[in-house]
């Protein structure tokens, strides 16, 4: 405290002795009130003041975003500030006394190196902040993405690429599964302004992460961040660029609002952000979706997926290929006219869909995470040693679902979760036939799994 007061007094910025009633400290014995040598005390105080100045300047000029380069410059300048020669009665200029405040406020010791170093600190900070707006985010590599120097409603400037060479955004892609962790693209704290939040990484397939929001007095809102096969759909709605990420806005629905994003229009993987709930509520779903999309774009642009790769257990179902679990011969036996060579393949090969070319029978094999199935989820059975449950699918009266429990595990909250293989068959067949086809195909698929039941 004394060191800070003396620092301000040396600058002549404000007469603290008069305003705060602080008695002038004496330097005769060069010890402070707690017995610490004044040289060490002054060094510590000036070092802390340097750090405080670095934080303040970064907060004002760089929106509080720290990059490695900015951190190094701030530390160096803080050290320079800490090494300013200690002010003693022999080298401290006399501060004018008994003068009106307006005459004392801007008096500065022009001969002191302190002012020169402080000026250098602020000038360098300004220059760095100006230049950093031209440095690509991938080079700076900060944790949250460099703050844009333009309002959010305006697209960030895109550097011109030389003829024949792709731009930075066109070169960047979503990392390969399963190491890309969708939960790195969410922030429950920032979404907390809409209500109590909870992150659930096991609310669906391995390609998604959900933030559950509980607005006061309203139904739960599920914010789903999901990897999907690209490219982006043809632009039919509004879009903007945030942190070098293209964000497309889908038309709002009564119970759902979706945003899609990618580094470029032809990326083979995109990110979908969807806010949805069961019934209407007061809180705008699109406000939630826009906030979640902004968070995801910032984290994508800052390289969060590359910096923090996901590590799944060796025995996880995520290490399987859904499309490889059913052979063309098996599909042809149960699905007349199936186009086995051209299935729809989801992100990570964790979803595979086949359709008949001669009828409306469709097969959807995908992986899922969530609550462990039990007898309330259908008729129990065993398929190649795996527990399974077969039922008419609640969302479609023309579909039958077989859920196979691959493995169970405790989640971060101590709750039991399960990885499941789900085989859904739908079409205009009788329900008993749909369930028989679903069960037979699930039996064939589980025979190809590498994990032990």
Which of 152-156, 243-247, 315-319, 348-352 has the least mean pLDDT? Answer: 152-156
pLDDT of 345 > 70? The answer is: yes
pLDDT of res. 238: 83
Using 50, 70 and 90 to split pLDDT, how confident is the model at 287?
A: very high
Could you report the per-residue pLDDT of 75-88, keeping only the tens digit for each?
Answer: 776 666 666 555 55
Let me know: does 226 contact 207? Beta carbons within 8 Å: yes
Here the tokens at position 10 are 């040396």
Give the distance, in angstroms, between the CA of residue 32 and the centroid of all CA atoms in the same chain: 48
pTM: 0.63
pLDDT of 112 higher than 70: no
**Between 170 and 234, the higher pLDDT residue:** 234
pLDDT for 403 equals 98
Most confident stretch, 124-128, 174-178, 240-244, 293-297: 293-297
Any idea which of 47-61, 153-167, 310-324, 415-429 has the lowest mean pLDDT?
153-167
pLDDT of residue 37: 54
Residue range 412-438: mean pLDDT, rounded: 94
Could you tell me which residues are beta bridge partners of residue 239?
A: 248
Per-residue pLDDT band for 428 (boundaries 50, 70, 90) equals: very high
Edge-to-edge strand list for the sheet holding 269-276: 196-200, 208-214, 221-229, 269-276, 256-262, 245-249, 239-242
pLDDT band at 281; cut points 50, 70, 90: confident
Say whether pLDDT at 106 is over 70.
Answer: no
| pLDDT band with cut points at 50, 70 and 90 for residue 107 | very low
Residues 6+ apart with CB under 8 A from 40: none
Residues 6+ apart with CB under 8 A from 88: 27, 30
Per-residue pLDDT, 28: 44
Query: What confidence tens digit (pLDDT) does each residue in 190-210 have?
Result: 999 999 999 999 999 999 999
* Helix extents (H) in 154-208: 168-171, 188-191
User: Per-residue DSSP letters for 77-137?
Assistant: HHHHHHTSPPP-TTTPPPPP-S--HHHHTT---TT-HHHHHHHHHHHHHHHHHHHHTTS-H
The strand pair at 416-426 and 399-410 is best described as antiparallel
Beta-carbon contacts of 215 under 8 Å, excluding residues fewer than 6 positions away, are 194, 195, 221, 281, 282, 283
Contacts of 314 (CB under 8 A, 6+ apart): none
């Amino acid at each position: 405290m004394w060191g800070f007061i003396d620092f301000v007094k040396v600058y002549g910025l404000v007469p603290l002795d008069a305003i705060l009633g602080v008695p002038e400290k004496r330097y005769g014995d060069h010890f402070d009130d707690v017995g610490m040598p004044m040289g060490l005390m002054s060094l510590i105080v000036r070092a802390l003041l340097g750090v405080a100045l670095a934080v303040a300047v970064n907060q004002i000029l760089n929106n509080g975003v720290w990059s490695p380069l900015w951190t190094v410059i701030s530390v160096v300048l803080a050290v320079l500030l800490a090494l300013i020669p200690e002010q003693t009665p022999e080298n401290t200029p006399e501060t004018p006394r008994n003068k009106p405040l307006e005459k004392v406020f801007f008096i500065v010791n022009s001969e002191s190196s302190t002012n020169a170093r402080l000026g250098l600190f602020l000038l360098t900070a300004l220059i760095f902040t100006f230049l950093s707006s031209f440095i690509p985010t991938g080079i700076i590599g900060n944790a949250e993405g460099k703050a844009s120097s333009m309002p959010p409603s305006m697209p960030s400037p895109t550097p011109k690429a030389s003829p024949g060479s792709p731009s930075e955004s066109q070169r960047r892609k979503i990392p390969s599964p399963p190491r890309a962790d969708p939960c790195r693209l969410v922030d429950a704290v920032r979404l907390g302004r809409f209500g109590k939040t909870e992150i659930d990484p096991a609310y669906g397939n391995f390609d998604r992460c959900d933030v559950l929001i509980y607005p006061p007095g309203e139904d739960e809102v599920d914010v789903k961040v999901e990897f999907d096969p690209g490219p982006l759909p043809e632009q039919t709605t509004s879009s903007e660029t945030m942190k070098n990420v293209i964000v497309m806005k889908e038309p709002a629905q009564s119970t759902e609002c979706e945003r899609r994003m990618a580094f470029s229009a032809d990326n083979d993987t995109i990110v979908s952000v969807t806010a949805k709930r069961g019934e209407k509520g007061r809180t705008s779903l699109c406000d939630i979706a826009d906030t979640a999309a902004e968070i995801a774009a910032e984290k994508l642009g800052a390289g969060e997926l590359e910096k923090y790769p996901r590590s799944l257990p060796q025995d996880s179902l995520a290490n399987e290929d859904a499309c490889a679990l059913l052979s063309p011969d098996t599909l042809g036996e149960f699905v007349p006219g199936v186009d086995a060579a051209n299935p729809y393949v989801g992100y990570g090969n964790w979803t595979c869909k086949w359709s008949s070319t001669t009828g409306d029978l469709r097969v959807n094999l995908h992986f899922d995470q969530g609550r462990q199935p039990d007898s309330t989820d259908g008729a129990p059975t065993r398929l190649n040693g795996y527990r399974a449950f077969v039922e008419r699918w609640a969302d479609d009266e023309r579909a039958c679902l077989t859920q196979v429990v691959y493995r169970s595990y405790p989640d971060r909250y101590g709750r039991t979760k399960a990885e499941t293989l789900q085989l859904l068959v739908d079409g205009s067949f009788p329900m008993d036939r749909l369930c028989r086809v679903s069960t037979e195909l699930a039996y064939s698929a589980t025979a190809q799994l590498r994990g032990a039941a």
